[in-house]
Amino acid sequence: MPPDEDGWNVKRSGVNVTLSKKEKSEDENSEIEAYLIMLDSPANPISDYVERIKQNTQKGYAQNSKFKITSLEVAEDKNNHQCARVHLLLEDLKPIRTVTHEDKKFSEQYVLSCGLLKNKRVGIEVRYYHRFYEPNKDSQLADKVNNIFATVKILDEK
């Protein structure tokens, strides 16, 4: 379910779900996605999974000409030990420049990435994006994300 705010749209495609919402300007938005992923290797032990996510994220953005990592935090989820939590802040290096937007633009992302126990090569991710110009940062985003992630239920048992 989306946060308790107006303006969220829901789109389903197979087993994927995307919730999206326009923000203050045309190129600012929020998005929540839930989808299946194929894992390079099992998520157990979780410490290895956390390290792989961190390395893959850094490698993925190392040569990216559009985004630069401003901060990256990856840790085991305290509530679910088969999951990792990611907080990623990217600076948009090529934002749309207009008279009203001379500020830096960012993509702030929180991810809950979980490996399944039955099929060790499959996982799920729930990703919450907020794309914004610096003055429009959502100071409540972390709370919204925690509320959404607290509702995630993984129905995969040995």
Task: Read off the tokens for 142.
Answer: 């972390």
pLDDT of residue 123: 93
Q: Is residue 154 part of a domain?
A: no
pLDDT of residue 98: 65
CATH of the domain at 63: 3.40.1000
Q: Is residue 76 part of a domain?
A: yes
pLDDT of residue 5: 85
Predicted confidence pLDDT, tens digits, the chain (158 residues): 777 888 999 999 988 999 999 987 778 999 999 999 999 888 889 999 999 999 999 999 999 999 999 999 999 999 888 899 999 999 999 887 665 667 899 999 999 999 998 888 899 999 999 999 998 999 999 999 999 999 888 877 65
Q: Is residue 105 part of a domain?
A: yes
Q: Is residue 155 part of a domain?
A: no
Q: Is residue 1 part of a domain?
A: no
Domain range enclosing 35: 9-149
Residue 20 in contact with residue 33, Cβ under 8 Å?
A: no
Residues 6+ apart with CB under 8 A from 115: 39, 42, 43, 44, 49, 82, 83, 122, 123
In terms of Cα–Cα distance, which of 4, 5, 1, 29 is closest to 96? 29
Q: Is residue 3 part of a domain?
A: no
Q: Does the predicted TM-score (pTM) go above 0.75? A: yes
Q: How many CB atoms lie within 10 A of CB 44?
A: 13
pLDDT of residue 49: 94
Q: Is residue 4 part of a domain?
A: no
Query: How many domains does the chain contain in total?
Result: 1
